[in-house]
Amino acid sequence: MNVKISRNAAKVLLAEIEKEEDKNLKLRVYVTHSHGDHAHYGLAMDTPTEKDVVVSTDKGIDVILQKNEALLDGVRIDYFYTPQEGFAVTNPSKGNHGDH
């Protein structure tokens, strides 16, 4: 399983993780719903279960993914300041670039 985090997203995520009282929590990326050949994603702070894999990223952030969810492999987490500030999670490896 593979996860990419942009520099902007890592900066915001690391600031949030540092504020987190429970240091055992990690970032979870999950599928909120899927249709056709792509999915929509959500982010949450969580603890891994036996159904999960924890992926270490090059930004020093561990990410929890559900083991058997193919649409999670290759997700990219971005953070944009314009036109609307917030996270965008896509999966370019599955053809999902967030533009539909």
Give domain status of residue 69, yes or no. yes
- C-alpha closest to that of 66 among 98, 44, 37: 44
Give domain status of residue 99, yes or no. no
Long-range contacts at 54-57 (CB < 8 A, ≥ 24 apart):
54/26, 55/1, 55/2, 55/3, 57/3, 57/4, 57/5, 57/10
Residues 86-94: what's their mean pLDDT? Answer: 90
- Domain that includes residue 47, residue range: 3-94
Has residue 99 got a pLDDT over 60?
no
Domain CATH code at residue 56 = 2.60.300.12
Give domain status of residue 27, yes or no. yes
Give domain status of residue 100, yes or no. no
Interval 32-41: pLDDT, tens: 998 777 789 9
Percent of the chain with pLDDT over 70: 95
Q: In the chain, how many domains are there?
A: 1
